[in-house]
Amino acid sequence: MTSRDIVARYDAVTRAAVESALRKAVRGQGIAAIALAAVWGLVTLLPLVAAAVAGQASATLVLVFGALLLVPLAIGVFGVRQLRRRPRIPEMAVAITPTSVHFSALERSSGVAGRVPAEEWAREGTTAEIRPASGLLPTAAIVFTRHDGRTRRRRTVSAEHLDIDPRTIVDVLGGPPSA
């Protein structure tokens, strides 16, 4: 990278606080999934146990309830995987070079949602704007937009936790790229 490059990093203190909050959310999701699996498993087993005590349990009934136990088992496995996850926030939010804009990969707090991959966009044709905080977005954000033919791509970066002024990023992308 040259001296004309801009690298926007997340503030270290804020990054640590967000990672801590993410770990708590992931842990809560894992515990809730395990609790749901246990309750669902008990509710599924109770009719089978009642039928066995009454002498009404047939092979078909056992097979059906055995198949129904696969759902709480899958939820329990998801819960254990959530408890093992350690989401991290990347150090770099965005890097702007004379020819491209680089975004870091992001992990999401939910194990169901996939990871947001790292991307590199051509600088030409990429715009940025600052969106102020609103009811749904508790912090201001920088929204990067790129039109590739008919496809519009967007990427959002929190503006309040960067080590540089977000207006600098918007100004740099608003002007012509320097070679």
- Judged by DSSP in three states, 132 sits in coil
pLDDT tens digit sequence for 9-21: 888 888 888 889 8
| pLDDT, averaged across the chain | 85
Question: In the predicted model, what is the mean pLDDT of residues 34-50?
Answer: 91
Q: Which residues, at least 6 apart from 39, have a Cβ–Cβ distance to it below 8 Å?
A: none
More confident residue, 139 or 73: 73
Predicted pLDDT at 102: 93
Model confidence at 137, pLDDT cuts 50, 70, 90, reads low
CB atoms within 10 A of CB 69: 16
**Which residue in this structure is represented by tokens 């080590």?**
163
- Judged by DSSP in three states, 96 sits in strand
Q: How far apart are CA 2 and CA 135, in angstroms?
A: 39
Long-range CB pairs of 86-92 (<8 Å, 24+ gap) are 86/23, 86/26, 87/19, 87/22, 87/23, 87/26, 88/19, 89/10, 89/15, 89/18, 89/19, 89/22, 90/10, 91/9, 91/10, 91/15, 92/7, 92/8, 92/9, 92/10
More confident residue, 88 or 113: 88
Model confidence at 37, pLDDT cuts 50, 70, 90, reads very high
**Which residue in this structure is represented by tokens 């009719």?**
47
Predicted pLDDT at 34: 97
Half-sphere exposure of 23 (CA within 13 A, CB side): 10
Predicted pLDDT at 4: 65
Q: How far apart are CA 76 and CA 78, in angstroms?
A: 5
Would you state the structure tokens that stand for residue 96, as one six-digit string? 């702007």
- Judged by DSSP in three states, 40 sits in helix
More confident residue, 64 or 111: 64
Strands, E assignment, the chain: 6-9, 92-96, 100-103, 119-122, 126-131, 141-148, 151-158
**Residue 121: pLDDT above 60?**
yes
- What is the 8-class DSSP label of residue 69? T
pTM: predicted TM-score of the whole model, two decimal places? 0.70
